[in-house]
Amino acid sequence: MIDEQLLGTILALFAAVCWGVGASLYKIVLKSEHSLFLTITIRGSIAVPFIAIVTFFVNNFYSLEILFSPEVLPILIFSSIFVGFGDLWFFGSLQRIEITKAMPVASIYPLFTAILLIIFGLETISLVVLIGIIILIAGLGFLAQENKSSSSNLESQEEMKMGLALAVLAALFWSFAIYTLRLLLDYPDVDVYSLATVRFGILTFFFGIFWIINTLYRHQTGIVDPASLSHITKKVSFILGLGGILSWGIGGISFFSSIEMIGAGRATPISSINPLISVIIGILVLKEKISPLQAVGILLIIFGSIFVSILEL
């Protein structure tokens, strides 16, 4: 039988692949005229039913009662909001800069997560994991260096700064989401399938409300809204939904399971290799280019992941 530590590591790596592919799908279809509230709502409207069906066949939602208990529900709502706004800022970053920059910068969330875990004493972060995080962050830093030959030099400096700032905000909110997720998984009888369904269902509901309020406000004030529902084609909706199934459904459940097995302090830095997947897709599919410094970053990310995954086994 496969060792739980090894399985947890594999699941974290698999989650990284799902997130990298999902982010690349978002980049392919996201346009500047798309409403971020609407795109996240559409993604959830397709992804959440898929996760719910999987949950029904796996365990028939046996942990719903505890998830909606007065003690757990507030944490669950905050966790949903944190991950939702993290995704919101990340989508905004993708609208402004290339995925070879947005994804690495957004993936510095292990640094913020480690700080939170240490501050609140939820986990003991070993020296090995801390060194691995440092290597990963160094790799991400190299990966985010400007490529003079890429199309990014056509973007305004303001757009570049805003895109990078939004990516950092995404990382910060995701780290809080992981911290609250760690709290939720400490409760007995909370299964990762029901948790994923309810968490992302709450997120989708809130962002749908935000989109409706924003639309009504623009309508009443006479503001011309270029980011209406008419700009979202069936193809865009399908790709957003597929990205949601990969990142929220398959990737999310894999990551939740990994945290249960090996802890957030190890699962988080391992899963942060997802920029490698996005960079590869960005080069092969989106025709983005990488500089020698970015190549160094990729090697550091791979080494950092191996360092964290193997030396702690």
CA proximity to 39, closest of 236, 203, 197, 212: 236
Helix H, strand E, coil C: the string for 87-100 is: HHHHHHHHHHCCHH
Kindly indicate the confidence band of residue 3, based on its pLDDT and cuts at 50, 70 and 90: confident
What is the phi/psi pair of residue 246, to 5°? Answer: -70, -50
If one counts every other C-beta atom within 10 angstroms of the C-beta of residue 129, the result is: 23
Q: pLDDT averaged over the chain? A: 81
Q: Kindly report, residue by residue over 180-220, the tens digit of the pLDDT.
A: 888 888 888 888 888 889 999 999 999 999 888 888 877 77
Q: What's the domain count of the chain? A: 1
pTM above 0.85, yes or no: no
Kindly indicate the confidence band of residue 236, based on its pLDDT and cuts at 50, 70 and 90: confident
Per DSSP, 246 falls in state: I
| Structural domain that includes position 105 | 4-311
